[in-house]
Amino acid sequence: MPATLDQVARAAGVSRATAARVFSGNPRVSEEARRAVESAAMQLGYVPNGAARSLAGRRSDSVGVVVPEPGSILFLDQLMPRLLRGIGEELSANGLQMVLFAPQSTADLQRLEQYLAGGHVDAVLLLALHESDSLPTRLQARGIPTVFGGRPRPGLDVSFVDVDNHAGGRTATEHLIELGRRRIAHIAGPAHVPGAQERLDGFREAMWKAALRADFVEHGTLDRDGGELAMGRLLAMAGEIDAVFAASDAMAAGAMWALQVLGRRVPDDVAVIGFDDSPLAAATQPPLSSVRQPIEDMGREMARLVLSLSAVRGQSSRQMVLGPELSVRESTVMVR
Amino acid sequence: MPATLDQVARAAGVSRATAARVFSGNPRVSEEARRAVESAAMQLGYVPNGAARSLAGRRSDSVGVVVPEPGSILFLDQLMPRLLRGIGEELSANGLQMVLFAPQSTADLQRLEQYLAGGHVDAVLLLALHESDSLPTRLQARGIPTVFGGRPRPGLDVSFVDVDNHAGGRTATEHLIELGRRRIAHIAGPAHVPGAQERLDGFREAMWKAALRADFVEHGTLDRDGGELAMGRLLAMAGEIDAVFAASDAMAAGAMWALQVLGRRVPDDVAVIGFDDSPLAAATQPPLSSVRQPIEDMGREMARLVLSLSAVRGQSSRQMVLGPELSVRESTVMVR
DNA sequence: CCGCGCGATGGAAGCGGTTTCACCAATGCC
DNA sequence: GGCATTGGTGAAACCGCTTCCATCGCGCGG
């Protein structure tokens, strides 16, 4: 029922080949023919058939993105939308369609593998590993360019782009130290979340270098309540503390709240810094300093990387780590 | 480079037609031939080419889902993942691949329209309308089965599945009234969010029917802070209040916090009920009563509906509204 | 013993594009 | 003015799979 290229060509009085050239942006078409084809297409409401296109052209002009389950650190602090925006923008700019997949079961994963291997996409971006996932390996084997978002488990020879969580944790901590704070606590994320672990390591490194105690550490659930509870435990355990670095803005907000309820002034008594520089950070009272990870850039770089991998096949894997940036607000201003 | 059906057939010593029958689940194949084909396929690592499949078979065995920008009510209280789970499960069960799209700009929307109209998907699920979106109309015109999640703007003759926000608001309010509460406040969502508006209407209807004042209403930003602030304004405005119904669990949590800080006991002095029955509701102190919308069911029904629309073409549009359910916890127990 | 129905099979015609190749007219050059 | 270019064009060969249709072998009832 939908119009075909053949019909358009006939209506325009040219051959199918010429009509095809018009739609594939081939410049070797006379202005006259081009106009005829375009108006015929408009008239008939022609839309090229994607299946036929990919079959004949051996490419689909689309890139698959496999997103993780919610609960991943990417969903905290609104990271996911920013990442997808970065990816989407870069792909769009290259005329490619971003296609998302959210597999939920093992069966889904299997079907997805078939789908991705079946030529529906030209390349794949993997946003987080479902544990012991065979997907990346299988895709590699099929020669489908693949790039990870975030560091995959070590030992895999794959391309990835990551933000530097370690440097982020270090930077946040150093900022507090430069402020003159000495009894600095850290509210870490769950131990099994890789990014959170690296932030903790960054904290430890900075404290170690400054010869400060690095054992005021509590783990929280990454959300506001987690921060509130962890703060309570920290105060009970460590007594007076003059700064807190939380592994997420939500936890920092919770911690700040707990401090204020107990009569501590922020930043006068206790400086607080969060992580991710989410919208939340600007909305707290006082506004929260935070570490801004270039997540949009990460998305853009992932897209660029996978595009370059698809352009020239047989390339070796490439890695990239993007540095963080401090976003200083009232919660860590110098007051003494 | 990847193996083709032809190679598999040759390796198995059968014709391409027979090999094809094996993969399309056609039962008219001898056990012997089937085994030969399957082992040959395994050997060669054969995966059917999706493009060729859809071209020849005139269907893609996949369904597109267009998700809205974050900020939509669907992203609040973890609604989105639940909805996608429902859709995904039902599609999976029917052997279909769920394919997500997150257009961000007008240009994206245009490319997406081409993509969807180009036969890449058999049907489309639209999760929220970007205002004045021509997408649904264009898809309808192309004969692509389309179903909305949530009620589209009135006047459109389209199929949709929605949860009953009005009934939800009414149910929550009636619950509070049955508890014997009389001065009941409502923390509503932003006025421009359709679902939130309906919840407010439900609140008003229930109060009206019970001949109670329905003007203790404040709007909030749907998140915890919004609830906290709105609660403050309500107490300042209305003085003593014995129950609060908030349009989201996050706002209810914020409100409950504000009440407790000011020395009110929940539920003894003030009963609090939220909306959406999110994970958050079970985690507050005391646990929060809430209105559970059958979001997974909504997803499943959307999938079912669009499948039935694709099965028989030329069907008229169909609508469906799913009723809410009360989830009673400690924040609204009877204490007098 | 023969024709019939039936399940299994292979041949072949598409599905709707892309792309190579040959061709032709018009142009530029010596 | 002859000849090599060059830009625009169309014919036709695929791309890899589905599916219709004809064929074939076989067990069966008449």
Q: Are strands A184-188 and A243-246 parallel, antiparallel or unpaired?
A: parallel
- Has residue B313 got a pLDDT over 60? yes
pLDDT, tens only, B60-116: 999 999 987 766 666 666 788 889 999 999 999 999 999 999 998 888 988 999 999
Chain B nearest C-alpha distance from A205 (Å): 34
* Any strand D atom closer than 7 Å to A30 CB: yes
Quick check: A120 and B50 CB within 8 A? yes
Q: In what order do the strands lie in the sheet with B159-163?
A: A319-322, A159-163, A146-149, A123-126, A62-66, A97-101, B97-101, B62-66, B123-126, B146-149, B159-163, B319-322
Sorted by where each starts, the structural domains of chain A and their CATH numbers stand as: 5-48 (1.10.260.40), 62-163+296-323 (3.40.50.2300), 165-292 (3.40.50.2300)
Residue B226 and residue B220 in contact, taking contact as beta carbons nearer than 8 Å: yes
- Has residue B336 got a pLDDT over 60? no
Residue type, position A250, single letter = A
One digit per residue, the tens of pLDDT, for chain A of length 336 reads: 789 999 999 999 999 999 999 998 888 888 888 999 999 999 999 999 999 999 999 999 999 999 877 666 666 667 888 899 999 999 999 999 999 999 988 889 989 999 999 999 999 999 976 666 788 888 988 889 999 998 887 777 889 999 999 999 999 999 999 999 999 999 999 988 878 999 999 999 999 999 999 999 999 988 888 999 999 999 998 888 999 999 999 999 999 989 998 899 999 999 999 999 988 898 888 999 999 999 999 999 999 999 999 988 778 889 999 999 999 999 998 765
B:3-42 Cβ neighbours of strand D under 7 Å: 4-6, 16-17, 20-21, 23-24
3-state secondary structure of A1: coil
pLDDT of res. A336:
55
CA geometry: angle A323, A325, A329, nearest 5 deg = 165
3-state secondary structure of B88: helix
**Token pair recorded at residue B214:** 């329905």
- C-alpha A309/C-alpha B32 separation (Å) is 43
- Has residue B176 got a pLDDT over 80? yes
Quick check: A98 and B99 CB within 8 A? no
Question: How many CB pairs below 8 Å do chains A and B form together?
Answer: 122
Contacts of B45 in chain A (CB under 8 A): 141-142
**Average pLDDT of the segment spanning B193-205:** 92
Contacts of B88 in chain A (CB under 8 A): 102, 104, 108
* Any strand D atom closer than 7 Å to B134 CB: no
Q: Average pLDDT of chain B?
A: 91
Q: CA nearest A67 in B: which residue? A: B100
- C-alpha B229/C-alpha A74 separation (Å) is 28
Nearest to A85 among B1, B49, B104 (CB): B104
Of A181, A223, A224, nearest in space to A203 by CA: A181
Chain B nearest C-alpha distance from A179 (Å): 29
* Relative orientation angle of helices B31-44 and B16-23, to the nearest 10 degrees: 90
- C-alpha A276/C-alpha A293 separation (Å) is 6
The conformation of residue A214, written as its DSSP 8-state character, comes to: -
In which band, very low, low, confident or very high, does the pLDDT at B280 lie, cut at 50, 70 and 90?
confident
- C-alpha B285/C-alpha A204 separation (Å) is 34
Residues 6+ apart with CB under 8 A from A317: A157, A158, A159
pLDDT of res. B72:
64
* Any strand D atom closer than 7 Å to B120 CB: no
Task: For the beta carbon of residue B33, count every other beta carbon within 10 angstroms.
Answer: 18
Chain A nearest C-alpha distance from B101 (Å): 6
Within 7 A of a protein CB, which nucleotides of strand C?
7-12, 14-20
Residue A271 and residue A255 in contact, taking contact as beta carbons nearer than 8 Å: no
- C-alpha B56/C-alpha B76 separation (Å) is 42
